[in-house]
């Protein structure tokens, strides 16, 4: 996996309305714009942030094929966090589910799509947690 650094600031500013839009009853919105840096908004300057494009359907109830996820490689996962894990030489996004008291009875990688089965991680597995998903950017359908 080739990593590309993300920077605290960039030269790529995007127009944003200084208004809120209703997801309920229609409301008036203003016409005043500001410039925002989406890179900084998503990373908050975190040098351990990584943006990844998702391929596959195992997380499709939450993350669809073609979506983007922002990963924090410095964050320790908590139960139920979505993580990027290296397992048996490959990489996968799954929900982090320790089993038993403090995970002493193992760890499960749980898909969001019920078609797929959870995967128990054992001591015999080549396994590493790469980071925790902090943002999901859905592609328009």
Distance from C-alpha of 14 to C-alpha of 26, rounded to nearest angstrom: 25
pLDDT score at 4? 47
Q: Is the pLDDT of residue 1 over 50?
A: no
| Domain formed by 47-137, architecture | Ribbon (2.10)
Q: In the chain, where are the structural domains located?
A: 8-45, 47-137
pTM of the model: 0.76
pLDDT score at 22? 72
Residues marked as catalytic: 58, 94
71-124: per-residue pLDDT in tens? 999 999 999 999 999 998 899 999 999 875 455 567 899 999 999 999 999 888
Comparing 11-15, 32-36, 110-114, the range with the smallest average pLDDT is 11-15
The alpha carbon of residue 136 and the mean position of all alpha carbons in its chain are separated, in whole angstroms, by 5
The upper half-sphere exposure of residue 111, i.e. CA atoms within 13 Å in the direction of its Cβ, equals: 14
Beta strands in the chain (DSSP E): 14-17, 33-36, 49-53, 68-72, 82-87, 90-98, 107-110, 119-121, 127-137
């Amino acid at each position: 996996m080739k990593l590309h650094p993300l920077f605290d600031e960039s030269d790529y500013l995007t127009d944003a309305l200084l208004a809120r839009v209703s997801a309920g009853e229609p409301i008036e919105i203003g016409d005043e714009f500001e410039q925002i840096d989406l890179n900084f908004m998503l990373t908050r300057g975190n040098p351990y942030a990584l943006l990844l494009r998702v391929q596959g359907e195992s997380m499709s109830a939450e993350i669809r094929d073609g979506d983007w996820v922002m990963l924090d490689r410095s964050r320790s996962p908590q139960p139920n966090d979505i993580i990027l894990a290296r397992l048996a030489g490959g990489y996968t996004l799954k929900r982090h589910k320790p089993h038993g008291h403090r995970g002493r009875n193992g760890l499960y990688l749980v898909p969001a799509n019920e078609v797929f089965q959870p995967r128990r991680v054992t001591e015999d597995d080549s396994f590493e947690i790469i980071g925790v998903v902090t943002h999901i950017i859905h592609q328009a359908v």
